[in-house]
Every structure is written in structure tokens, then in C-alpha cells.
Amino acid sequence: MKIDRTARLIIGNINKQFGKAAKIKEDVYLLKPFKTLSEDEKTLARIQHKGIFAQMEAMPNLIHGMGDLVFEGEKFALKKDKLIQFAVSMGDKGLETKLAKVKDREGLYNICNKYCFKLLKSCEEEARRLVAGTKGKITLELEQTIEQMRVDRYNKMRGLYEALANKSVNPRVIEIENILKTEYGMKTVNLEDDLPRAEQILRVVKGLKVKGFPIPDNVIVSDLHCATGELCKIGGEKTMFLQSTRYQVASTIAGADPEILKYFYRFLSPKEFTIYQKSLQTALSKGISQMSTAMEDHIVTHECLHGNHTSLLAFFHKALPSKFKKTAKEISLYTNINTNTAEILTELESKLHLTGMLTLEEMELYKYIKQFQIYA
């Protein structure tokens, strides 16, 4: 994956303007009490927190019950064959062997789910290791190395999802898929017959288009996507992956599974996870919002707006001036855990787009980061 001279100039400019890259820390950050919530916002936060607590205890055992949704009985053999073909195309002998031995839908879903988590975990952990060894300077060579890792992961992830993809049959979902292609120029759209997610995507895309924001080139919804949402910028195209609403429902009603917890909280040892869980409960009990808004369309908006900045590490891993650090942590629980500049900017931009307002401190931070924003 070649990154040309323009990228080198961008990296140099960001390094010069923004200061050295912040070394990635392994500890978990906590929000301080966010005391500026109105009573209505506190009520929303309390409702939201109940869902978060349920997911903390339940998320992990998302496997049970999902196999029936993803791999219907009559399609099991076909799905298994397509997955084996995918493993062969990837040259992944280990995955091929596991798939060949599986005998039921739940086992097949288990393998695929863990494969997706492993892809994300290995890519992010290696990127963190490489960045941590830069001593504060992001080089073009490092950008190229990590970009190739992203491309490899993207190709495997998308290949797996497409091997399992079902065509939508709900007339309204099919209509939305066609609208996204014909009216908004998307190339690949697979909404997996997920009507709630389809309606969200259409609303968000319409709203962003009116304001001139970039929208994804491709949208793929999957029961297997291990994050709520993600935007991948590969080969000049932006592909948005979204977790299906079926996955989210299953995750809140299932029981706990410590083994999957280790996949989900992928950077934490069992001891670190225990500390993280207690800290999260403390933060939530103080009325801190999970995201910068509690609005239904927030996740889809957030992922779309990742298309509004560069993917260069030199932009992601910049240390903010100390005067902005408190504000950054109080935007949401999400920005307290995901402290990179791109996530902070996208959370602020999502709040501004969805609510039309930011606090004075948030606006100052937003303008500060925005001046360094380089469109992808």
C-alpha cells in the first residue's frame, strides 16, 4: 500500500502544528462527574445506563440464539461450504480445519464470531505496539505498515461477511437499499433485512447529504460485526460496517460468558477488566453519557462522520494541549476510553449535527481540532 508525497507533507504539517504524537497508554481513563446535564438528560442517561449495565453482563454470550438467526437450518450446509471456500481463498488452514469439523449452526457462528474478534484484536494490538515504539514521531513508513494491516483485515472481514450475506426480502428494506444506490451513489449495500438499521441509515444519509458531509461508498450490516459500527477507508472508498440490531437484542438477553468478554474488551487482562468494570459502573452512576448524545441515530451518524477526516495516524495520535483534556474527557464515556483525536472530533461533530449545539468548552475544542482536519 503506497502512500504518496502528499501524505508525507500532511504528516509533517500535523507534527509541526499539533505537537508530538502522544504515546499510547495502557491504563483505562475515567470521566469525572459531568454535572451540566439537565433533568431530562439525566433521565435519558439513567435509562441508557441500564442498557449498558445489561450489556456489560450479557454481551459476552451473544453466541446463544444467534446461530439460528444467521444460519437457518436449510442454509447451514451452504453457509459452511461458502465459509470453507473463503478460508481456502485466504490461505487460512486453521480456519479451514475448524470449519470442516463443525456440525451445527451454533458451532459455526461461534467460529465466525471469534474469527472477527481476532481480526480486530490482532490488528489493533499490533498497531498500538508499533505506535508506542515511535518515541512520539509518526513516520511515513509506519503509516504504510499499519495501512497494509488495515487493508489485510478489511479484505478478510468483508470476505467473511459477503460469504455469509443473505439478500433482504422485506420490501421496505429492499427499497432503502435501492435508494442508497440510486439516489446516494452507493456501490455495495447489504442491510441483511434489518429494517430498524435500514431506516436509521437512510435518515442519517439524507441529513448528512443536505449539509454537505461525505457519506460512505458502501454499507454492510452484519450479525457478526464485533463493534457497534466502523468506517474503513480502503482504496479510495469508505465502507461502513454496522452491527445488526438482532445482534444487539441478543446481547442484552443472553447470559455472561467470560471467554467472550476477553474478546470484547480486547486490550484488558482479567485483572484490568475487573478494574475497568468497577470504574465504568462508578462513572455511569454519576450521570455520564455513553456517547455525546443519546439520540437513536448517533452510532450511524458517528460512523459516517469518520469519513470527514484523514485516517493518518499522525492525525489520530496527537496530544491535546492540557487546557482541553478535561473537556475531551467530559464529552462522553466513549471519548474517555477512546482518546484519539479522530474519535474526539467525530463525537463533537456528531453532537453538533444532531443537536445543533455544543458547550462553549466543546466548541473551543472542536475549532481547535477542526483547523487541523484534512479531508480524507
Per-residue pLDDT of the chain (376 residues; tens, 9 = 90+): 455 565 566 566 556 555 555 444 433 322 333 344 455 555 555 555 554 444 444 444 444 566 776 777 678 888 999 999 999 999 999 999 999 999 988 888 888 888 888 888 788 778 878 877 776 678 888 888 988 999 999 999 999 998 888 889 999 999 999 999 999 999 999 999 999 999 999 999 999 999 999 899 999 999 888 778 999 999 889 999 998 887 754 443 333 344 444 444 444 556 666 666 665 666 566 666 778 898 999 999 999 999 988 888 878 877 789 999 888 888 887 887 777 899 999 999 999 999 999 999 999 999 999 876 654 4
Last residue of a domain, one of 164, 198, 213: 164
Residue 23: predicted pLDDT: 47
Last residue of a domain, one of 127, 142, 164: 164
229 shares a domain with 180: yes
Residue 41: predicted pLDDT: 52
Residue 63: predicted pLDDT: 46
User: Going by DSSP bridges, is the β-strand pair 218-222/229-234 parallel, antiparallel, or unpaired?
Assistant: unpaired
Q: Is residue 337 part of a domain?
A: no
Residue 142: predicted pLDDT: 87
Q: How far apart are CA 204 and CA 297, in angstroms?
A: 7
Burial class (CB in 10 A: 0-12, 13-18, 19+), 226: buried
Residue 264: predicted pLDDT: 47
* Long-range contacts from 202-205, C-beta under 8 angstroms, 24+ separation: 202/176, 203/297, 204/297, 204/300, 204/301, 204/304, 205/180, 205/304
Last residue of a domain, one of 233, 253, 273: 253
154 shares a domain with 179: no
Of 248, 346, 293, the closest CA to residue 44 belongs to: 293
Q: Which domain holds residue 81?
A: 66-164
Total-model pTM? 0.78
The count of other CB atoms within 10 Å of the CB of residue 271 is 8
160 shares a domain with 171: no
84 shares a domain with 110: yes
Q: Is residue 299 part of a domain?
A: no
